[in-house]
Amino acid sequence: MRCSPAAGTKSANMFGLTQTRKLSGATLHKRPPVVIGGSGIVEYLVVAGGGGGGFTFGGGGGAGGYQTSANFTVINGVINTVTIGAGGTSTPTDGANSVFSTITATGGGKGGGQNNGASASGGSGGGGSTSNVASSGTGGQGNAGGNGFSDNTSFATGGGGGGSSTAGIASGANGGAGGAGTANSISGTSVNYAGGGGGSGDDRVPGHAAGAGGTGGGGSGSTAGTASSGTVNTGGGGGGSGNSSAAGGAGGSGIVILRYLGAQSGTGGTVTNNGFYTIHTFTASGTFTWTG
């Protein structure tokens, strides 16, 4: 079959092969360029906001969910959403989720309290109060809180919020300690994240101390005054407060950290390099784009 040359071109046959050349003044349409995308591998740490601590024999807030991996593929030019979850308030409320691309860490559950109701499940669960049991954590992200306690006569204490490594401690004569968080060196320095808030004590009878916050930013509980808040950008849960006139502690906000070997090959967040890794740290929401 014989094909005719396109308008504006002229063909000549040499050795059985047809050559086509553009005639003067003719216009040839260009095809769009073909873009071949690259990719890279990043490590990530995603920690959600911690839950707020309960009040009136309040349980500690659960730590924000903890997610990490050393093998996540990012595509050249694709914009990846980064969301930093806020810590729960001292009213109390649950912590908010943190997100990197397709990875979501679940916000920590609020602590229970005689006046604020039941604890809540979350990345890690909130601690229980006198008549409220603790709540569960999310598998692979955190642990359950500890139950509260009352002798039904003279004193009551709150359970500790769950942490990313261990569950919150149930209370007894004293408030339960918050569950332990997890140490991670993705930033170049070992830092503990996602500790549970400590449960409340009771100041009506001497000797019923509040529980300590879990390593990883968990706030300590209180016997009478306002409890301690979780540490900012660790996802720590807030501590539980012992009486109705003082609030529990707020949860700590979350964080997202990414890193990869070598020189900078992406944009977004606060960028540092320790001589081996380039590190992108997000303490506020934004985007990450791999540039290769």
Give the tens place of pLDDT for each residue, 100-118: 999 999 999 999 999 899 9
List the structure tokens of 180.
């332990």
The CA distance from 5 to 9, in Å, is: 6
Cα separation, 259 vs 213, in Å, equals 29
| pLDDT the model gives residue 29 | 38
> Which of 38, 43, 41 is closest to 281 using CA atoms?
43
Cβ partners under 8 Å of residue 212, min gap 6:
177, 178, 198, 218, 220, 221
Cβ contacts of 86 within 8 Å, gap of 6 or more: 49, 95, 96, 253, 254
- Amino acid found at 196: G
Count: domains in the chain: 1
Cβ(254)–Cβ(242) below 8 Å? no
The two three-digit tokens of residue 97, written as one number:
């989720």
Structure token pair of residue 235: 């996802």
Q: Is residue 253 part of a domain?
A: yes
Quick one: which of 45, 50, 64, 86 has its CA closest to 285? 86
pTM across the whole model: 0.87
Kindly state the tokens that stand for 224: 């009478």
Q: Is 235 a member of any domain?
A: yes
Alpha helices in 47-173 (DSSP H): none
pLDDT at 37: 59
Note whether 216 and 140 are within 8 A (CB): no
The residue segments making up the domain with residue 121 are 43-67+84-99+106-257
Q: State the sign of the Cα–Cα–Cα–Cα dihedral 273, 69, 82, 219.
A: negative
Sheet holding 98-100, edge to edge: 103-105, 98-100, 79-83, 286-290, 266-267
161 in any annotated domain: yes
CA 249, 128, 113: angle at the middle one, nearest 5? Answer: 55
The low-confidence residues of the chain, meaning pLDDT below 50, are 1-36
Return the pLDDT at 4: 47
Residue 181 gets which letter from DSSP? -
